[in-house]
Structure 1
Amino acid sequence: MMEVQVEDQLKTLNYSGVFLSCFSDYSEKCIHSTPEHVLLYLYSGEQVIEDRNKIIKLQAGDCAFIRRDHRLKMYKNSKGEDLYKGISMTFKRNVLRDFYSKMNKSEIPNKVKVSDKTVFKLERNPAIESLFQSLTPYFDRNIQPTEGFVHLKLLEGIYALLNSNEQLYPILFDFAEPWKIDLLGFLNNNYMEELSMEQIASFTGRSLATFKRDFKKISNLTPQKWLIRKRLEMAYIQLKEDGKKVKDVYLEVGFKNPSHFSTAFKKQYGFPPTAI
């Protein structure tokens, strides 16, 4: 199914998980927050991605993979006479599960270090270039791709990702087994709660040993450190973007006292929360 949305200076086309955006003004700012992985290609213009204290810049021809369940600030800019044109692919879990079920598991690289990066700027390569160039005709709303064509392009996108960076294997296929609750989904929804590791394991349908083993597949942090980092990231957003006060934020994100919060915040960001 195709959805078309046109708003004065913004044109966005959605073809079942493939999004094409075109801006005719100088700049657009948006908040990116999605429960699914996204592959983004910049056809023209410039895109700036702000991930807390990190800045990633994309120029025409650049491509980036954005991990699911993260909140980013994006600036989509025209550059000179070149309008902003971007294409993105959203990889839903059912597509990734189906892809994984048909893979030759012996070809999956062993002992890949799990990365905690949110945004991966990919090296330019012919596979990614040809994939996205084949989608550019669909910026014309009078030309619509078939469902089958879009599905094939999503599969092509998965292959291109796996061939570009082996660190993406454990990230793309981090879903839980069907009878288990998805770990990241549960933790992102409950990071502010005071739960023991035993409780989290139980709530997600695992023994404590299985929970620890599964968690290692999705992060190189311990569960406790992952939770602290998540709380600090959400505190950063509330302090900087929402203008909240420290005394209102630390309890809301799950810290029990302001001193612990301030110390942990300064350790992660290099400055105290009161400096924002």
Structure 2
Amino acid sequence: MTNPTAIIPGFLFYAYLTAMRKEKVGHIQHNTLVLQVSGQFTLETSGQTVTMRKGEMLLISKNQLAQITKGPLPGEDYETVVITLQEDQLRKIALEDGLEVQEKYAGPPNVLIPVNDFLKGYFQSIVPYVRNPSEDITEAMGILKVKEGVKLLLLAMPQLRNLLFDFSEPYKIDLERFMLSNFHFNVPLEKFARLTGRSLAGFKRDFQRIFGTAPRQWLQEKRLTEARYLIEKKNKKPAAIYLDLGFESLSHFSHAFKKRFGKTPTEWAPGKTA
């Protein structure tokens, strides 16, 4: 297994795996195009699960909390190319081509792109860059490949213009619904605030009004209560759930669980005694 390599800083990345790995991605800041070379890629958000395999493409929209599972398949390792469509580059493309948002995008935030001959050709043109990261590739070339990818996306799905070129700030959304769906993501309060369209002070104020407690206390209690339910009712192993519930280590999870419930997670499992 090798870590992703930046081919062009901020633009192209390469990843290779021989065993399945689940990653707690957290906050996806930029619109992102994922090209699946081989293996299987699964993206999970609070409202959507998308899986793709060899030869498929996925556009992931910005300002989301998500988890990614990567893994090889029989007869093939895992390889993927990730192109980060950063907002400053999208703004330049919009200015150069006179592109404007026609209406608010109302489709799914994560879109499997139907592959046509043009996108197949683009896909094939990207692979040599990731297979030869030591070659002298200029930043200008990377920018050209990003522009090419964006234009081919719009050719395949013109409605994506309203997703890619929406530069407005996140509007104020239902904080209660958002937190109940996303409490398990281990991200700073500042990220939760931004994703709900609030300043940090406004987020804390609204949170206190809705839940009657401070965000950090609520998050800890919610995660521990969910852990107890999964262990007690679903027979889940502590080692299998602590990352999914936003804890950074098994030891931290066990300590917090025992402090809250008087037993370690293992002792709480059905059939166990203290």
Please state how far the C-alpha of 1:96 moved relative to its aligned partner: 1.1
Q: What TM-score do the two structures reach when normalised by structure 1?
A: 0.62
- 2:155 paired residue among 163, 172, 175: 163
1:185-204 alignment, distance < 5 Å: 187=171
Question: How far apart in 2 are the matches of 1:79 and 1:71?
Answer: 26
Q: Are 2:110 and 1:119 aligned?
A: yes
Taking a change above 3 Å as real, the CA distance of residues 43 and 144 of structure 1, as seen in their structure-2 partners, is farther
> Is 1:145 paired with 2:146?
no
Q: Does 1:37 align with 2:31?
A: yes
2:95 aligned with 1:101, yes or no? yes
Of 39, 45, 51, the match for 2:45: 51
Displacement of 1:257 in angstroms is 4.2
CA distance in 1, matches of 2:159, 2:11: 23
Contact 1:114-1:170 within 8 A present in 2 as well: yes
- Structure 2: segments with no counterpart, 5+ residues: 187-202, 213-225, 231-274
Query: Do the aligned partners of 1:24 and 1:84 also contact (CA within 8 Å) in 2?
Result: yes
Instruction: Tell me if structure 2 keeps the 8 A contact 1:137–1:143.
Output: no
Q: 1:26 aligns with which of 10, 19, 23?
A: 19
Stretches of structure 1 lacking an aligned partner (at least 5 in a row): 1-8, 177-182, 188-222, 243-250, 260-272
Please tell me the residue identity of whatever aligns with 1:20.
F
CA contact (8 A) 1:66 1:119 kept: yes
Among 9, 27, 41, the alignment partner of 1:16 is 9
**Match runs of 1:235-274 below 5 Å:** 235-238=180-183, 240=184, 254=207, 256-257=209-210
Question: Is 2:66 the partner of 1:72?
Answer: yes
Q: Is the 8 A contact 1:12 1:19 kept in 2?
A: no
Letter in 1 for 2:16: F
Matched, 1:60 2:60: no
The structure having more radius of gyration, on CA atoms, is: 2
2:18 maps to amino acid: D
| Cα drift, residue 51 of structure 1 | 1.4
1:84 is the counterpart of 2:75: no
Q: Does the Cα contact within 8 Å between 1:87 and 1:132 map onto a contact in 2?
A: no
* Contact 1:115 1:167 (C-alpha < 8 Å) held by counterparts: no
Report how many aligned residue pairs link the two structures. 196
Task: Determine the C-alpha separation between the residues in 2 that align with 1:16 and 1:241.
Answer: 27
SS in 2 for 1:134: helix
Q: Which residue of 2 aligns with 1:174?
A: 166
Partner secondary structure for residue 135 of structure 1: helix
The structural deviation recorded for 1:109 is 8.4
Q: Which moved more, 1:161-170 or 1:34-43?
A: 161-170
Which one of 122, 132, 152 corresponds to residue 131 of structure 1? 122
Aligned-partner Cα distance in 1 for 2:61–2:69? 18
The CA deviation at 1:102 is 1.6
Where has structure 1 moved over 4 Å in runs of 4 or more? 273-276
Aligned-pair CA distance for 1:162: 1.2
**What displacement does 1:37 show?**
0.8
Preserved CA contact (<8 Å) 2:40 2:51: yes
Q: 1:241 to 1:114 in 2, by over 3 A?
A: closer
Which of 147, 158, 178 in structure 2 is aligned with 1:233?
178
Matched with 1:205 is none
Task: Say if 2:36 and 2:56, in contact at 8 Å, map to a contact too.
Answer: yes
Amino acid at match of 1:232: R
AA in 2 matched with 1:234: M
2: distance between equivalents of 1:254 and 1:144? 50
CA RMSD of aligned residues (A): 2.8
Matched to 2:153, the amino acid is: L
Deviations 1:49-105 (A, max 9, x none): 111243211010110111111111111110113111111111122211111112245
Read off the aligned partner of 1:256 and give its amino acid letter: R
